[in-house]
């Protein structure tokens, strides 16, 4: 069972859609979209576009949210929210 990961950041949403499609085409059964902070909305867009527009046989298997503690440049601790969206091929 191959599993891929796509880190969703600040680039245009279609970059990440393409990365996800590529991983499924190369045989991944499951692709995990990971994002934090403001990129979280974009990760949801990626999941929805992949599913609705390109791969109807892929479904959202699970969604997990969490908090990570980062250190800012001034050495201050900052909490940032994270999301993990697991996309998986439907078993037929």
Interacting residues toward a copy of itself by CB under 8 A: 37-41, 44-45, 47-48, 52, 60, 63-67, 79, 81, 83, 85
Question: How far is the C-alpha of 54 from the C-alpha of 17, rounded, in Å?
Answer: 9
Written as six digits, the tokens of 13 are 């949403």
User: Cβ of residue 66: shortest distance to a copy of itself, in angstroms?
Assistant: 7
User: Cβ of residue 27: shortest distance to a copy of itself, in angstroms?
Assistant: 25
Angle between helices 13-25 and 39-49 (to 10 degrees): 50
Which CB sits closer to a copy of itself, 2 or 64? 64
Which CB sits closer to a copy of itself, 1 or 53? 53
Question: How far is the C-alpha of 83 from the C-alpha of 39, rounded, in Å?
Answer: 9
């Amino acid at each position: 069972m191959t599993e891929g990961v796509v880190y969703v950041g600040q680039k245009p949403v279609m970059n990440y859609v393409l990365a996800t499609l590529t991983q499924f085409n190369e045989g991944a059964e499951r692709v995990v979209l990971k994002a934090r902070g403001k990129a979280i909305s974009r990760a949801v867009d990626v999941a929805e576009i992949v599913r609705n527009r390109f791969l109807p046989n892929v479904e959202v298997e699970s969604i997990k949210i969490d908090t990570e503690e980062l250190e800012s440049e001034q050495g201050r601790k900052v909490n940032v929210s994270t999301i993990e969206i697991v996309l998986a091929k439907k078993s037929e």
